[in-house]
Amino acid sequence: MRKWHRWISVFFGIFMLWIAVTGVLSQVAVLWPAGAPDPALEAAATPPEGFVCPEGWRCSPPRATSGIRSMVGLFHHLHSGETFGALGTTISVLSGFALIFFSISGIWLYVQMWNNRKKRKLTPRWFWK
């Protein structure tokens, strides 16, 4: 299991770092405080005269976005791999599977080390040197 853990991490480590960074950036962009409303967007958001919102619909003007908040879509496309086409999306999905594998194999390796310590009658601890 350790051999697989090492070999897969060599390849997917770079992609998982990319996914982690772009995922954090997309969340930071969403949580970033909104700036002052853009008057040009506000003017464009007013419906034409005589427009009536259909029953059951919620008609609201688009939110004015500026600065880092306007980059949420870009960060999402980078995060999902869509920017790089089918190959990027495939690598993104495979990186997700690799992350699942690393989680399961990491727990498996930890349990094996725990059991080996117990068999050698060493003091079982959560974390050891």
- Cα separation, 65 vs 45, in Å, equals 13
Task: Give the pLDDT of the chain (129 residues) as one tens digit per residue.
Answer: 777 777 777 778 888 888 888 888 888 887 777 666 556 655 666 667 787 888 888 776 656 566 777 788 888 898 888 989 999 999 989 988 988 888 888 888 888 888 888 888 877 666 665
Q: Which two tokens stand for residue 24?
A: 């954090």
Single pTM value for the model: 0.57
